[in-house]
Amino acid sequence: MQKKDLISIKDWTEEEIKHLFYTAAKIKGYQKTNLKFHPLEGKTLGMMFAKASTRTRVSFEVGMYQLGGYPLYLDIKANLQVARGESIEDTAKVLSGYLDGIMIRTYNHDDVVKLAEFGTIPVINGLTDLLHPCQVLTDIFTFMEYRGEAKGATVAFIGDGNNMAHSWLYGAARTGMNLNIVSPKDYQVNKEIYEDAKKIAKDNNCKLSLFEDPKEAVKNVDLIYTDVWASMGQEAEQKKRAKAFAGYKVDRDLLNRADKNALVMHCLPAHRGDEITSDVMDDRKHSAIFDEAENRLHLQKGILYLLMK
């Protein structure tokens, strides 16, 4: 398999995603047994950041180092001429002459698309306001570690119809998972993405549904997933959103309505007591949140290997 970019999960087939999961599992096994694996020796990943980051920066930086390569941190506002008006198109052409790959975490999704279009090296979407593919691929990979199979399982995503929800639509559709997106009326997913993902889901015999009632949506599901109510750039809306999402907290009552062995995940950072209670987040039987966070490293090493080897 030789893909050029990871912009959206939509762009990868089910077989390509399975191969990624197999690769990530192998690479994770190498690390856990202290086996050296340096397929990217001599290669450099440029990491472009317009947004603050804990998991994305550390996992990609450490992952690139562990694969034998060099991770170069590039603060878009402080380090690059993009902040002073240089076009993304020109930046893509210039960086393609210096680097072996680019990971970008930014606001505008079109910037990632243009980097890939005008550059000649692999481009990885580390997050935009529209999509967060690396996180959802990690989530499904983690679910499979716990349950063995994703196809046929049912997920309830509870919260804002944001970049996470959009990537879950494509991730579930591509891997055959049923997905219930649960959001207040004024905070639902992008309708074009929803309809687009439904076409993929139909071909893969799974179902994508929209709900407003969390209690109805979580009945017998295999995974409850949540995210912060106000994403980066939406802090001014915090109070308004807290009111709108007041009935969407993942607490013990909601968890008890799911399958008795249901998992709970959160992409982090979490606002404990808002979208999820601490007792659920720290529940040893149900919470996979911190295994999920660790797996960002292993899954992204799989992406780096497949795109940059």
Per-domain residue ranges for the chain? 9-131+294-308, 133-292
Q: Give residue-wise pLDDT tens across range 257-290.
A: 999 999 999 999 999 999 999 999 999 999 999 9
Active-site annotation holds for 135: yes
Query: Which stretches of the chain score pLDDT less than 70?
Result: 1-3, 232-235
Active-site annotation holds for 38: no
Residue among 132, 166, 241, 266 flagged as catalytic: 132
Residue among 55, 134, 135, 139 flagged as catalytic: 135
Res 237: pLDDT: 83
Whole-angstrom CA distances from 264 to 84, 174, 256, 297 are: 43, 21, 12, 20
Res 1: pLDDT: 56
Alpha helices, DSSP H, located in the chain: 14-32, 55-66, 76-79, 88-96, 109-118, 133-147, 163-175, 191-203, 214-217, 238-244, 252-256, 278-281, 289-308
Residue among 55, 57, 286, 296 flagged as catalytic: 296
Residue among 55, 105, 109, 166 flagged as catalytic: 105
Res 176: pLDDT: 98
Residue among 166, 267, 286, 300 flagged as catalytic: 267
φ, ψ (nearest 5 deg) of residue 254 = -70, -40
Q: Can you give the pTM of this predicted structure?
A: 0.96
Active-site annotation holds for 252: no
Active-site annotation holds for 147: no
Res 295: pLDDT: 98
Task: Identify any residues that bridge with 178 across adjacent strands, giving them in sequence order.
Answer: 154
Q: Give residue-wise pLDDT tens across range 53-104.
A: 999 999 999 999 999 999 999 999 988 998 889 999 999 999 999 999 999 9
Q: How far apart are CA 93 and CA 121, in angstroms?
A: 9
> Which amino acid type is present at position 9?
I
Residue among 174, 227, 298, 300 flagged as catalytic: 227
- Hey, what CATH topology would domain 133-292 get? Rossmann fold (3.40.50)
Strands 223-226 and 263-266: parallel
Active-site annotation holds for 227: yes
Q: How far apart are CA 60 and CA 30, in angstroms?
A: 17
Q: Given CA atoms 210, 212, 213, 218 in this order, what sign does their dihedral have?
A: positive
Angle at 291 between CA 290 and CA 293, to 5 degrees: 60
Res 239: pLDDT: 87
Please state which of the four CATH numbers 3.20.20.70, 3.40.50.2300, 3.40.50.1370, 3.30.56.10 is assigned to the domain occupying 9-131+294-308: 3.40.50.1370
Mean pLDDT over the full length of the chain: 96
Active-site annotation holds for 105: yes
